[in-house]
Structures are given as C-alpha cells and as structure tokens.
Amino acid sequence: MAKKLLIVANWKMNPGTQGEASSLAREVAKGTGAVQGVEVVLCPPFSFLGVVCEEKGQLKLGAQDCAAEQKGAFTGEVSPSQLKGMGCSYVILGHSERKNLLGETLGQIAAKLQAALQAGLIPVLCVGEKKRGERKDVVRQAGAALQGIAKTNVSRLVLVYEPEWAISSRKGAVLATPEEVGKAVEALRELLSTRFGKEAHGIPILYGGSADSRNIQGFLQEGNVQGALVGAASLRGAEFVRLVKNALLV
C-alpha cells in the first residue's frame, strides 16, 4: 500500500480568474504545506498551471487531462511532456465527465496513460460505474485502460474509484457508503494482483465521489482507500485544509 496518503484536488473549470486561482493555491499551501504523512496535489485548469506552480510551495502540481501524443499538429491539445515541463508531477485521466460529456473512450484513455508514463508523469486513472453496485463495470474499465502497462510502471500508477452515481455535480447523486467503496476497492485489488502480481500492492486507490472533511475518515477507515480525489470541496480553501488534516487523524 502507499506509504503516505494522497489527496488530489480537482478544480475542474474553476475558479474564474487567475487571481482567484493564485489565492486558493496560496491558502492551501499555507494550511497544508507543513503537514506530514500526506501528499497533496493541486490540479487546476491548464490556464492556471503557471500561477499555481508559483504558489504551491511543497505541494505537487497536476493537470486534469493530457493528449496521447507528445507533440505535433493537434490543435487545442496539451502534451504530457509539456505538462512535465511546466512542473506537473501528476495528471488525471479518464474522469467520468470527460467520458460522458466529451465521449472519451477507454482506448483513448489507455493511449493517454501510456503517453503520460512515457513523459514521466504519474497518471491518476479514474474508473467507476454509472449505476450503483455494478462493480463488474468498474473492473472492466480498469482492465481496458491498463492494457499493455508493464510491471516496471506499476509503482507510478494511481487508481481512483469514482462512482458516477455519487458525484455531487450529478443530478440525483447519493453518497456512497464506506462499505460500498470497500467492496469496489477489493474488486480492483483483485484485478491488479492478477494483472501485476505482488508489484500491485503499492498502487494507491483513492475515492472520488464527493469526499469532504466530514466523511473522509470513514472512507479511509472502512473503504480501505489510500486517499481521495476531491472536487467541490477542493475549491473552498479552509474546507480542503480541514479535509487533509482530518484524513491524518485516521
């Protein structure tokens, strides 16, 4: 398992201005920078990577997506090697919003994952079912996205269990229980062990369905995750700092 907790802030298409992004990054860095036992990653929109990098202090920088190519005539795309050059260590791949709203396929995600690893980034791979309890679909997605990944790259992978039905921005969302998360994590662990053997034990699995400062401890304790991918709560500096500190109380 991971040696320390991993908390990833996914700002999505927020905040509205460069100044707000700089202020939020500064607040989080001040509140969590000296905290031991957790790695905090800030993933702002592409347009704010520069200012967040300047303000992040000891925190890590990540992106919300990348292209499957390192360079070339791909209008509007950002390559993983460019992200690496801007100071990114992580990149989120396969988020449900990209699959549902932009039609991103598992094949495209697999290609992006390979490109991210080639560039030296740590991919944060999101998988999750549309309907509650369909854990076979979670395993299917993970298996397809990880197709062709060598055992030598296993130590540089992060998985996120992201049940789509529990995401707060989705209409009718309901919070997953720690028990449900634990069962999904168990299924993913079985897949990883079958695919990669003992090397798979070190792959962190995070929870990505409306985590906040009040429920993070339950997901860590009973859900058997090693951290969280945080959406809405990461946009409120004080709340996100509380989430990080509460996670360390487990």
Question: pLDDT tens digits, residue range 131-154?
Answer: 998 999 999 999 999 998 999 999
Annotation marks residue 201 as catalytic: no
Q: Average of pLDDT values for 11-30? A: 98
Residue boundaries of the structural domains of the chain: 5-247
Cβ neighbours, 10 Å, residue 172: 5
Annotation marks residue 20 as catalytic: no
- Percentage of the chain modeled with pLDDT above 90: 91
Q: Which of 95, 129, 164, 180 is catalytic?
A: 95
How many Å apart are CA 120 and CA 210, to the nearest integer?
29
Residue 216 has pLDDT above 80, yes or no: yes
Residues sharing a CB contact under 8 Å with residue 57, sequence separation 6 or more, in sequence order: 29, 30, 33
pLDDT at 171: 75
* Reported confidence tier of residue 52, pLDDT bands at 50, 70, 90: very high
* Reported confidence tier of residue 86, pLDDT bands at 50, 70, 90: very high
* Reported confidence tier of residue 2, pLDDT bands at 50, 70, 90: very low
Mean pLDDT, all residues of the chain: 95
Extract the tokens encoding 228.
């969280």
Q: Which of 55, 162, 164, 180 is catalytic?
A: 162
CATH topology of domain 5-247: TIM Barrel (3.20.20)
How many Å apart are CA 141 and CA 118, to the nearest integer?
21
Residue 3 has pLDDT above 90, yes or no: no
* Reported confidence tier of residue 167, pLDDT bands at 50, 70, 90: confident
Tell me if the bond preceding 45 is cis, omega within 30° of 0: no
pTM of the model: 0.96
